[in-house]
Amino acid sequence: MPASNPQALDFLLTRRSRPAKTLTAPAPTREELRPLLTAALRVPDHGKLEPWRLIVLEKPALARLAALAGARAEALDLDAAKRAKAVAQFGDADLAVAVISVPKPSEKVPEIEQLHSAACVCLSLLNAALAAGWGANWLSGWASHDAEFCREGLGLREGESVAGFIHVGTETKPAPERPRPDLDALTEWRDA
């Protein structure tokens, strides 16, 4: 039987994202964040292309993005609820990490695999933050898909996209329980 890590398995079986709106200061310092970012980058990366990059968004940058989200929502004529949610996603946060998908030309590695690798970075950062005792949540939202917001707010270049915003902070209340997927309803076992 292979060597096991029961603590790691127990963490994965019981992990829960924390609602971003319940996270507050303090957030990790740059020194505290570095090992989490290092862990986040240890993901499947077929061809060692590193088809992602990170943008750490501290409070002043988040305030700027909140204002931009409000302006873009107005320019796009979005309803008040969508505008308020996007503004709060950035304005109420103390720290978020934008995981940027940066697909690279490759004859061997399809773009979809590279996008999946960026998604793995999001989940790995989320889990690293939770394992370190922080509250964390993976968000996207309409602004993450708005080309002008991404270009002006994050400096994204042609072909880049936001895989997710990972919010990290101090948890103010326990994460609510929610129904979990039914393994048997979602799994097929094949022996031939």
HSE-up of 94 (CA within 13 Å, CB side)?
A: 17
Does residue 1 surpass a pLDDT of 90? Answer: no
Annotated binding site: 15-17, 42, 46, 138-140
Annotated binding site for FMN: 15-17, 42, 46, 138-140
Contact (Cβ atoms closer than 8 angstroms) between residue 87 and residue 66? yes
Q: Which has the minimum average pLDDT: 1-5, 35-39, 88-92, 161-165? A: 1-5
Could you confirm whether domain 19-171 is CATH 3.40.109.10? yes
66-111 pLDDT, tens digit each? 999 999 999 999 999 999 999 999 999 999 999 999 999 999 999 9
* pTM of the predicted structure, to 2 decimals: 0.95
What share of the chain in percent tops pLDDT 90? Answer: 95
